[in-house]
Each structure stands twice: as C-alpha cells, then as structure tokens.
Amino acid sequence: MDLARALGWLPRETFRTSPRAKPAALHAWHSHDYVAALRHAEETGTVDEATRARHGLGTVSNPIFPEMFRRPATGAGASILAGELLAGGGRIHNPGGGTHHGMPDRASGFCYLNDCVFAILSLKAHGAARVAYVDIDAHHMDGVEHAFAGDPDVLLISTHEEKRWPGTGRLGDRGLGQVFNLPLPRGLNDTEMALARDRVIRPAIEAFQPDAIVLQCGADAVEEDPLSRLSLSNNAHMDVLRALLPLAPRFLLLGGGGYNPWSVGRLWTQGWAVLSGRDVPDRLPPAAEDVLRRLVWRGNSRAKAPPDHWFTSLRDPSRPGPIRAEFTDRVAALGARVASIPGRRAV
C-alpha cells in the first residue's frame, strides 16, 4: 500500500478500509469453539495445553501475538466485503487475504482464519453461481480444498511446490472432478509456469465458465523467497493474472505467502497495477524507491547483498528455462481432464 501510494496508484476513492469480521460471520466456516478460543488467546496472550492440542494455537507456526484475532478477522472481513462489492462486477485486491490453510476448528500454517473460503462463500451469496479459485502460492491450499472439494460449482486449481508442507495436493486428487492440483518440481522456471498457465489453468477456467474468479497470488514461489525452492520471477505471477482477468466479470485478487519483504511488496503492488490498469515504470520514482530502501529484513542470508532491482523496479528479470519431461507429463495429465469439466447447463 505504501508503494502504491508513492506511485500515485491508490487515490482515496479506490480504497476501502476493511471491516473486522464478527464472530457470527466467522461461524459460517469456523466452529464456535475455535473462534472463541482464538479471541480468548488474543485477550489473555496465552493458551492452555488443551487449547493448543485441539485448535493449534500457541505453536511455532501459529504463535500467540497481540492481534492474533483482530488481524485475520480484518483480512476475512475484506474478503467478505469484496464478495458483496463485486455483485455488479469489477475487480478488487485484498492483499491482506490469502490465508488458505485455516481449518474449521484449528489454525494452520500462520493462517488463523480462512479468508479465501469466506471470499468464495460471499461471492456465492451475492449472485455468483460458479466460482473459480486459483492458487499459485508455493504451498497447497489445503483449507480451501477441504471446504469445496465436494462443491461442483467451485473450480479449484492449485500449483504448489512438491514435497513442501502441508504435503497435500496430489496430482491425482479430483474432488468431484473439479479439483486440479499441479505439484511443481524444485527450481520451476518461468517457461514451465507458462506451460501450466496455457495448458491447465486458463483452459480449465474457460471450460468452467465462472461468474467470478479468486486468485491467491502468494509471493513465496519467486526465486528469492527463503522458504520455497521454486525459481519464478514475479513476471510469471503477472502473466497468470493477465490471462485470467478477461475470463469472468468479477475478479478478486488475494495476497498469501511470501517471506521476503521486497519480493512481496513489489509483486503485490504490481498486481494492483494490472488490476487498475496502471503502467508499470521501468524505473521507480524516488518516493517509491525510498519505500523499498527503508525495508529491513534481519536474520536471513538473502538480505546481505540485495540486488539493485529490489529497490529500483517492480519487475524482476525474467527467469526462463527448459521444460522438464516430468513436468510436461504432469501438465498433460491434468490437461487431459480439462475436457471433462462441465460447463454451464443450458436453460
């Protein structure tokens, strides 16, 4: 948001402050007991052993912190509001969304509430009969699949690094036939991601004919991320975004994972540029460059000698490469299933 404002891309009339989702709204997906436990953990700053075991709170990957309910409830509130605002069509970016691991009764993978699920539920409640959810985070969207694998009116597509936590999202998983999981080999390059986009992601959505698309655009699949071992440039994410925008009248772009602050800020700001029709400059103006130069990232070796383009440009250098045979086979296997996706029923 600081970058977008520094570039003049976020005038007052295009920004809405997110409401905080109330417990009653959260009960549409999360259990009453879990929401109560999450609120209590925030209020007291602690959890007992029984709560930790049942709800996953107070663990290394779901730590206690002062806004552990309010912050995710704000992200969920934004996704719920987005479904309402998109009733008449349009495009919305919720960078505080994308928490796709949250389960009905427990936190998981830094995701305390699953705003992606609420986005889909809200879109459906406001007239979108068919919703396509695409997730290009480095980690599999296990919580969203748990919610909608049995819903024929929600298409689920996930690209995620193989053998990476949470270990779900196998190539052969099908749901009711509308679940498409593409495990990505280590070192995935831009050329390989383009193949997945053109042979699986876009054809599947074209066949499904959705009323709305939700794109979870996690920034942890880029080369510089410290957790994943994929090798994409942020151009790959933007190319997926551009390919999907014309395919439905309602479009919601979410944030997600990302553990390098420069990669995250540059990628999601560029995503907003695409959504809002802005031209991305080759060289950032001084005010935007200053935002990036003031970022601090301690305790990671990748921050010791950051390349100049982390400060001066939103775009990464492209990272093309060979298409490996094993990946071609996976893409072909999913591509063969696209023809079986049921389109809209005639009325």
User: How far is the CA of 220 from the CAs of 3, 66, 105, 262, in angstroms?
Assistant: 19, 25, 26, 11
Residue 101 falls in the annotated catalytic set? yes
Phi-psi category of 241—alpha, beta or left, where left has phi over 0 and alpha has psi -120 to 50? Answer: alpha
Rounded to whole angstroms, how far apart are CA atoms 181 and 327?
A: 13
Rounded to whole angstroms, how far apart are CA atoms 291 and 3?
A: 6
List, in sequence order, every beta strand (DSSP E) within the chain: 90-94, 131-135, 154-161, 179-184, 212-216, 250-254
Asked whether the CA dihedral 302, 305, 311, 314 is positive or negative, the reply is: negative
User: How far is the CA of 155 from the CAs of 46, 79, 207, in angstroms?
Assistant: 38, 18, 10
Active-site position among 30, 55, 100, 101: 101
Rounded to whole angstroms, how far apart are CA atoms 247 and 251?
A: 9
At 126, list the tokens.
């406001």
Catalytic residues: 101
